[in-house]
Structure 1
Amino acid sequence: MTVDGGYADIFGPQVPRTGDEAQTATFALASAAYRDSPVEEILKANNEWHESAVKGGRKWARIFRPNLGEAFSTAVIIRMLGKGRKPLIQSFGAEPQVVVEHCLAANNIRRDRDNWLTAVMVLCGLLFLPGLLVWLLIFTLRTNVARREDKQAGALATALLVAVGALAVLFLIKMPFAGFWGWYARACVVLPVVGWFWAKQICERTATDLRERWASLLAGSSVGAKVPEAVPSNPGETAAEQLRQSLAHLSAEQQSNSVFYAGPKGILGMGTRWGSWQLAEDLVSADPTREIHPFRSWDVIRSIHDQLRMLERNTINTGGFPKPTVRHWIVTPIAEGSKEVSRPGGTDVDAYQVKSHAIQDICNKQQFGGGDRHYLGVQWTLWEGQLVLTMLITVTVLHETLRIEVTGHALGPVHGLFTSKPAAKEKEVAKSIRFWETRKIKLPLVDADEVVRLAARAPLTRYPPLLNWLGGSLALPEPFGLRHAWADRPWRHRFMADDALRAATPVLRVVHSAAIRVLAENGVDTEKFGTRAGFLSTQVQDVSPRKADVYDA
């Protein structure tokens, strides 16, 4: 099976084809599925337009809280593959299907771990429930004490655990019961501890696997996302068939030619509008004795389309533009604070694609008042998906005035949180003799509190609503799209900003020359158009980014 966007065989290893331009952003987002940092870390990636939130669970049940990878994977899968989900925003510069598959693969790894931990909890915990509850209470108290900000909290928490351990040893020696209940009481003290050591081995093995996948993705290797449950082996496997269809729908929606304009937020998925240039002049016949030959906005757009496809050609052999994507877009306006979008439907839409005849009708007729608008877009995906540049062109004719508008949009790199590699867990302590100096010691990959947290969560992972109610979950920003939700500004990166500014001048000149050629062929006096185009060509050479969608009125 082949999937559009640079990847083949979605259920096998993800091997990018030659020339793929979306590896870095895609793999950076996918790496979040394997992370073991606190879930609150993702709040650092919020931008001024889209903010995710951590829904807190019960304060007394912090032992059930998820980490970043667990919360991210679950939230993304439910939002992008769930039944009756809301429409998604396209992820330009990334492959959302690959990210979702890695979320599924990460959940599979954790499910295998949780199955083992559940068995441990049954054998060493549920059968000896009194001891398990006492040990869980002790660890919960220890965690709450350790979370205090004062410097003595860590020592106090450790002292608490040592004191309880000493009491447990005394309890074993001076057992107040005899016979069966005496041995059962001893087992209630010992076996939960044995189960903890067993669970620690399971957790460390899984944590090592998850971290290796995290590091491999950020290193650019094509680590495979194994999702066997998405491949039906027989016609009776309805769940696998449904998952396969959901992934296919996700891929189809990614290729939709319908986008949404949300005021100061810009066109969702393409970034804010940072520049706008308009050429507007009267349509006057070049020959006073003859009328202008009738033409439509679509005729001008089609000529511009043909010329934009030549942008990659260069007179001088100095590199120049890579091959752009030139495409017609239908833009639907929504309110700035909208939490969901609604894609066009009806007979004019097929598999999320607005049909060609409908695009032409919108281009020629819907130029004033309510309704969708047509834009011709030329888009580059640069810096391995970290920078998406889009120049949009629209042509309108009102009365005897033709207006050609060119706008620039830029979507910056994914937040640096997603490109951070796994760091070894270390702690800085004072040296025993030269106490004024410090040294770093390695900490275990999975500490005691983490083992208890994972073991406590394991039996409840089969009941996600209950687990989310107890431990909390991640609320994704709406309208949701993987790429734009955590995009940073491109203007903080000098080379990315230069690329955005440099693209404006050649695109503007190609658009104007193609439009003036159509006007001349249809008997329009192009002198004023040429003068105005020359003025804009001079103006765009000193272009600088600004908030073109924020009107100071």
Structure 2
Amino acid sequence: MADDIGSAFDFTPGAQVPLSGAAGETAATHALASAAYRDSDVDEILKANNEWHKSEVKKGKLSLFKPDLGEAFARAVQVRMLGGARKPLIQSFGIEPQSVVEHCLAATRIRKERDTRLTAVTVLFGVLFLPGMLLWLLVFQLKKSLGEGKDKKKTAFGTALLVAACAVAVIFLVKLPFTGFLSLYLRAMVIAPVIGWLLAKQICERTAKDLRGRWESLLSGGGIGAKIPEAVPGSPGETAAERLRQGLARLTAEQQSNSVFYAGPKGILGMGTRWGSWQLAEELVPRAGSSEIHPFRSWDVVRAIHDQLRMLERGPLHTGGFPTPSIRHWIVSPVAEGATEVARPSGTDVEAFQVKPHEIQRICNEQQFGSGDRHYLGVQFRLWDGQLVITMLITVTVLHETLRIEVTGHALGPVHSLFTTKPKAKTKEVSKTVKFWETREVKLPLIEADDVVRLAARAPFTWFPPILDFLGGKLALPEPFGLRHAWADKPWRHRFMADDALRAATPVLRVVHASAMRVLEENGVDTERFGTRSLFLSNLVQDAAPTKADVYDA
């Protein structure tokens, strides 16, 4: 499939990275992108797990090599979304996934530049004095292992162990029994790693300020750009850059796919769970004075509804109202609730992840019962800078003499608040020297002593990511994976977002019914029963309470 998609796109003109960050979708995009620059504990992301999609932090062999949130997030997202053998992705409505991936690449590049310097420091002040470096690493590993839990006694013991090691090192330097070259080397073996640590601390501090600045800028609306020169080939021989550029283009193409997946109670993956369902189903009877109705198909009704939905943004009063919605035909495939991967449609009727129009029309008219994909007409509103995605789906079926029109509402809430938190300066309160009963706030370094050792120890393995994953662990993303729905919260906890979702249903439902009535009247159908049913549904849609429409209590 990947080869087919690659051949379907013209990657030859220029060496440009497609622009990202569409208008109206910046807040959610920047919130997710900011995770790539964070230096908090990787376990923090577990707080963002929702009811259906849960990330997992897989532990490594040594906690000293454990990645922070930004390192783990950037690595996991890059591999999952740009990997050569990756599984199909779920569309990320309300954000630009390419922009998030670009920020992950930019953050990785910044860290690699830091790790290059740290590796040089490690070689000069560590590898050349390997026994001393290993002893210091052992002490820090023991301290980190003891301090991982919430047991204060163990944490205090770990700190005491480090202090004791420093004291032993000082005694060792003063009372060393050897002389000559061996004496000098043994002393250097103890001192060199400490000097290296001081240099590494300055390198880490500079990089931390840069990463935090980008994190702050994204969440403040600055929209700092992601610099990824490695994605722009400078010559035909740069295959890695060309492959990366094609991977980004393929990601954008898959984002524009018109096929989605229904996973039972999970709803349509990427669109959220179904919170409401309204159905109009009546018998097709000829109008009085006519012996038969004029033949028509489901597609004729769908096309009329599609044309009328384009007028949603227009109203009789100048009150703002609806923004311009996205109106698309969707092909929906069923998957199991616990499915860990999906398979996109393929074959001659699919081009560049897009099901062709003639196949969409065929599915709409013919695949209405039994196995196979189904057709839905969707009207989607992306609100709150991409934090809220409201999707109303319409399907039309004709079975025997019964026409059925179903409108369902899907809502995808904002990304978890974890992603919208800005960086905080590290401070602590201390007593004043003279007025000891008063306190003052003291700024702490962004990088703690343990973190400097961790980053310096990880640096030489940056060029061997699988080894680093084995030693320190990694972030396992929920499957089937899509950037947006994996960390989406429920919109019903936000009053205005909930109101927006509920208000969208009534106008869409009435436009759908009015369009259907017009097609039926044009084809000689008695619409009296349909009109009565439509009025009844108009009353039902006034209910201001969302439900779990996909959970059948049977």
Short-chain TM bin: over 0.9
Shift of 1:439: 5.0
Q: CA deviation at 1:291?
A: 1.2
**Structure 1 residues 15 and 52, CA, compared in 2 at 3 Å: closer, same or farther?**
closer
1:44 to 41, 44, 47: 47
Q: Does the Cα contact within 8 Å between 2:231 and 2:241 map onto a contact in 1?
A: yes
SS at 1:396 equivalent:
strand
Whichever residue aligns with residue 31 of structure 1, its letter is S
Letter in 1 for 2:445: P
Match of 1:32 in 2: 35
Q: Distance in 2 between matches of 1:388 and 1:147?
A: 39
TM-superposed CA distance for 1:15, in Å, is 7.4
Which deviates further from its counterpart, 143-152 or 70-79? Answer: 143-152
Contact 1:309 1:326 in 2 (8 A): yes
| Aligned position for 1:85 | 86
Counterpart Cα distance in 2 of 1:336 and 1:437: 59
Which residue pairs with 1:226 in the alignment?
A: 227
How is 1:397-476 mapped onto 2 (pairs within 5 angstroms)? 397-428=398-429, 440-476=441-477
What is the distance in 1 between the residues matched to 2:307 and 2:20? 33
Secondary structure of residue in 1 paired with 2:389: strand
Q: Please state if 1:510 is matched with 2:534.
A: no
SS in 1 for 2:398: strand
Identify which range, 177-186 or 294-303, moves more after superposition.
177-186
Shift of 1:11: 4.0
Q: Aligned Cα RMSD in Å?
A: 1.7
Decide whether aligned partners of structure 1 residues 148 and 514 sit closer, same or farther in structure 2, where only a CA change above 3 A counts: closer
1:221 counterpart SS class: coil
After superposition, residues 272-291 of structure 1 pair within 5 angstroms as 272-291=273-292
Shift of 1:314: 1.1
Per mean C-alpha deviation after superposition, the further-off stretch among 529-538 and 477-486 is 529-538
CA–CA distance in structure 1, aligned partners of residues 149 and 438 of structure 2: 26
* Aligned match of 2:390: 389
1:179 CA displacement: 1.0
Letter of the 1:48 counterpart: E
Structural mapping, 1:512-531, within 5 Å: 512-531=513-532
- Counterpart of 1:249 in structure 2 is 250
Q: Secondary structure at the residue paired with 1:160? A: helix
Which position in structure 1 is the counterpart of 2:25? Answer: 22
Residue 344 of structure 2 corresponds to 343
The answer to whether the 8 Å contact 2:290/2:524 transfers is no
| Distance across 2 between alignment mates of 1:217 and 1:296 | 49
Once residues 62 and 226 of structure 1 are traced to their aligned partners in structure 2, the CA distance between those partners, rounded to angstroms, is: 31
Cα offset, 1:434, TM superposition = 7.7
CA deviations 1:35-79 (Å, max 9, x no partner) are: 000000000000000000001111xx1100000000000000000
Query: 1 CA distance for matches of 2:21 and 2:272?
Result: 25
Q: Is the 8 A contact 2:21 2:96 kept in 1?
A: no
Measured in 2, the distance between the counterparts of 1:416 and 1:72 equals 16
**Structure 1: which amino acid aligns with 2:184?**
W
Question: Which residue does the alignment assign to 1:149?
Answer: 150
Deviates more, 1:233-242 or 1:171-180: 171-180
Q: Distance in 2 between matches of 1:11 and 1:117?
A: 30
Q: 2:439 & 2:396 partners in 1: Cα distance?
A: 67
Distance 1:542 1:473 in 2: 46
> Would you say the 8 A contact 1:113–1:206 is kept in 2?
yes
Q: CA offset at residue 221 of structure 1? A: 1.0
Q: Is the 8 A contact 1:11 1:226 kept in 2?
A: no
Whole-angstrom distance in 2 between the partners of 1:540 and 1:166: 75
Note the 1:296-335 alignment, pairs <5 A: 296-335=297-336
TM-superposed CA distance for 1:158, in Å, is: 3.3
What is the Cα deviation at residue 519 of structure 1? 0.2
Q: Which amino acid in structure 2 is aligned with residue 44 of structure 1?
A: K
Contact 1:15 1:222 (C-alpha < 8 Å) held by counterparts:
no
Question: How big is the shift at 1:524?
Answer: 0.3
- What TM-score, normalized to structure 2? 0.95
Once the two structures are superposed, the pairs formed by residues 131-142 of structure 1 within 5 Å of their partners are 131-142=132-143
| 2:208 partner amino acid | A
Structure 1 residues 148, 550: closer, same or farther in 2, change over 3 A? Answer: closer
1:54 aligns with 2:50: no
| Residue equivalent to 1:67 | 68
The answer to whether 1:163 aligns with 2:164 is yes
SS in 2 for 1:374: strand
- The one-character-per-residue Cα deviations of 1:3-41 (angstroms, maximum 9, x if unpaired) are 9xxxxx9749x6756xx1110000000000000000000
1:543 offset after TM fit, Å?
Answer: 3.8
- 8 A contact 1:11–1:228 mirrored in 2: no
After superposition, give the CA deviation of every residue in 1:190-235 in whole Å (9 maximum; x if it has no partner). Answer: 1111000000000000000000000000011121101111111111
8 Å contact 1:307–1:510 — kept in the other structure?
yes
Shift of 1:431: 6.4
Contact 1:30 1:103 in 2 (8 A): yes
Q: Is contact 1:281-1:402 (8 Å) kept?
A: yes
Distance 2:280 2:433 in 1: 75
Residue type of the alignment partner of 1:169:
V
> Whole-Å Cα distance in 2 between the matches of residues 405 and 121 of structure 1?
65
The residue that corresponds to 1:215 in the other structure is 216
| Separation of aligned partners in 2, 1:513 and 1:53 | 48
- Cα distance, 1:251 vs structure 2: 0.2
Give CA deviations for 1:158-205 in whole Å, capped at 9, x if unaligned: 333232222212211222211111111111011111000000000000
Q: Shift of the alpha carbon at 1:456? A: 0.3
The verdict on how the C-alpha distance between 1:450 and 1:511 changes in structure 2, with shifts beyond 3 A counting, is same
Partners of 1:437 and 1:47 lie apart in 2 by 44
Q: Secondary structure at the match of 1:274?
A: strand
1:144 to partner: Cα distance: 2.6
Q: 1:382 to 1:454 in 2, by over 3 A?
A: same
Q: Distance in 2 between matches of 1:11 and 1:424?
A: 34
Which residue does the alignment assign to 1:6? none
> How many Å separate the matches in 1 of 2:431 and 2:400?
80
Q: Is the 8 A contact 1:363 1:373 kept in 2?
A: yes
CA deviation profile, 1:403-426 (whole Å, cap 9, x unmatched): 000000000000000000001112
The superposition leaves residues 442-493 of structure 1 with CA deviations (integer Å, 9 ceiling, x where unpaired) of 2211010000000000001111111111110000000000000000000000
Matched residue SS, 1:165: helix
- 2:3 aligned partner: none
Deviations 1:243-263 (A, max 9, x none): 111100000000000000000
Q: C-alpha distance in 1, partners of 2:290/2:541?
A: 37
Contact 2:21–2:99 (CA under 8 A) maintained in structure 1: no
Aligned residue pairs, count: 541
User: Hey, what's the Cα distance between the residues in 2 that align with 1:428 and 1:144?
Assistant: 27
Q: Is structure 2 residue 204 aligned with structure 1 residue 203?
A: yes
What letter corresponds to residue 51 of structure 2 in structure 1?
E
- Identity among equivalent pairs (%): 71
Q: Report what 1:191 is aligned to.
A: 192
Greater alpha carbon shift after TM alignment, 424-433 vs 437-446: 424-433
Q: Is the 8 A contact 1:330 1:372 kept in 2?
A: yes
SS in 2 for 1:541: coil
- CA–CA distance in 1 between the matches of 2:550 and 2:359? 27
